[in-house]
Structure 1
Amino acid sequence: MRGYAVVDARTKNLLKRIRPGQIAILRHEDIDEMAATDLAMAKVKAVINTAPSITGSYLSVGAKILAQRRIPLYDCLTRDLINEVQDGDWIELEDGYFITADGIRLCPVTEVTEQEIEVKWELARRNLETSLEQFIQNTLTYAQQEKDYYISALPSLPLRVKLARRHVLIVVRGKRYREDLKAIHSYIQDYQPILIGVDGGADALLENGWKPDLIIGDMDSVSDQALCCGAEIIVHAYPDGRAPGKSRVDQLGVACHLLPAPGTSEDAAMLYAYEHGAEWIVALGAHSNMIDFLEKGRKGMASTVLVRMKIGTRLIDAKGVSMLYQKRVRWKNFILLSTAASFPIIAATLISPAVRQFWHLLWLQIKYNVM
Structure 2
Amino acid sequence: MPVRNKTSAQPGLTGTVRVDRRTKVLLPRLRPGDIAVIDHLDLDRATAQALLDARVAAVLNVSPFLSGRYPALGPALLAQGGVLMVDRLEGLQHVTDGSRVRVHDEMVYVDNKPVALGREVGADLLDQEMTQARSGLATQLETFTHNSTEFLRREEALLLHGEGLPSGGARLAGRPAVIVVEGQEHRSELRRIGAFVRERRPVLIGVDRGADVLHEAGLAPHVVVLENSGGELPSAATLRAARDVVVRVDRGDRRPLEHLERLGLRPVRVETSATSEDIALLLADDGDASVIVGVGMHATLDEFLDRQRAGLASTYLTRLKVGQRLVDATAVPVLYSGRLRPRHLFLALLVGLLALTVALATTPVGQEWLAQAWAWFESLRSQVAGWLS
TM-score by length of structure 2 reads 0.73
The answer to whether the aligner puts 1:62 opposite 2:74 as a matched pair is yes
User: What's 1:328 paired with?
Assistant: none
Question: Once the 2 structures are TM-superposed, how far is the Cα of residue 202 of structure 1 from its aligned partner?
Answer: 0.8
Q: Structure 2 CA distance, aligned partners of 1:308 and 1:91?
A: 45
Work out the number of aligned pairs and report it. Answer: 325
User: What's 1:93 paired with?
Assistant: 103
The counterpart of 2:51, out of the listed 15, 22, 39, is 39
For residues 168 and 111 of structure 1, do their structure 2 counterparts lie closer, same or farther at Cα, with a shift above 3 Å needed? same
Question: Once the 2 structures are TM-superposed, how far is the Cα of residue 226 of structure 1 from its aligned partner?
Answer: 5.4
Q: Unmatched 5+ residue regions in structure 2? A: 1-12, 336-350, 359-389
- Partner SS for 1:109: strand
- Partner SS for 1:77: strand
- Partner SS for 2:29: coil
1:48-59 → structure 2 map (5 Å cutoff):
48-59=60-71
The CA deviation string for residues 197-239 of structure 1, in whole angstroms up to 9 with x for no partner, is 1112112212322221111122434333355442121111334
User: What's 2:383 paired with?
Assistant: none
Question: Once the 2 structures are TM-superposed, how far is the Cα of residue 159 of structure 1 from its aligned partner?
Answer: 4.1
Q: Is the 8 A contact 1:50 1:79 kept in 2?
A: no
User: What's 2:213 paired with?
Assistant: 204
The CA deviation string for residues 56-81 of structure 1, in whole angstroms up to 9 with x for no partner, is 22111222222222221112432344
The answer to whether the aligner puts 1:248 opposite 2:266 as a matched pair is no
- Partner SS for 1:129: helix
Q: Is the 8 A contact 1:238 1:260 kept in 2?
A: yes
Aligned-partner residue type, residue 22 of structure 1 = D
For residues 112 and 304 of structure 1, do their structure 2 counterparts lie closer, same or farther at Cα, with a shift above 3 Å needed? closer
- Partner SS for 2:56: coil
Q: Structure 2 CA distance, aligned partners of 1:186 and 1:18?
A: 35
Q: Which runs of 4+ in 1 moved over 6 A?
A: 322-325
Q: Structure 2 CA distance, aligned partners of 1:149 and 1:321?
A: 29
User: What's 1:160 paired with?
Assistant: 169
Q: Structure 2 CA distance, aligned partners of 1:30 and 1:301?
A: 14
For residues 133 and 167 of structure 1, do their structure 2 counterparts lie closer, same or farther at Cα, with a shift above 3 Å needed? same
Question: Once the 2 structures are TM-superposed, how far is the Cα of residue 196 of structure 1 from its aligned partner?
Answer: 0.5
The counterpart of 1:269, out of the listed 280, 301, 311, is 280
Q: Is the 8 A contact 2:212 2:238 kept in 1?
A: no
Aligned-pair Cα RMSD in Å: 3.1
Q: Is the 8 A contact 2:60 2:89 kept in 1?
A: no
The CA deviation string for residues 135-187 of structure 1, in whole angstroms up to 9 with x for no partner, is 22322343244324323333464643222222111112233322322221221
1:16-31 → structure 2 map (5 Å cutoff):
16-31=28-43
190-199 or 284-293, which deviates more: 284-293
TM-score by length of structure 1 reads 0.76
Q: Structure 1 CA distance, aligned partners of 2:311 and 2:284?
A: 23
- Structure showing greater Rg: 2
For residues 303 and 74 of structure 1, do their structure 2 counterparts lie closer, same or farther at Cα, with a shift above 3 Å needed? closer
Q: Structure 2 CA distance, aligned partners of 1:304 and 1:63?
A: 22
The CA deviation string for residues 245-304 of structure 1, in whole angstroms up to 9 with x for no partner, is 824313434221122344122222222222223222222223534443443332674433
Q: Unmatched 5+ residue regions in structure 1? A: 326-339, 348-371
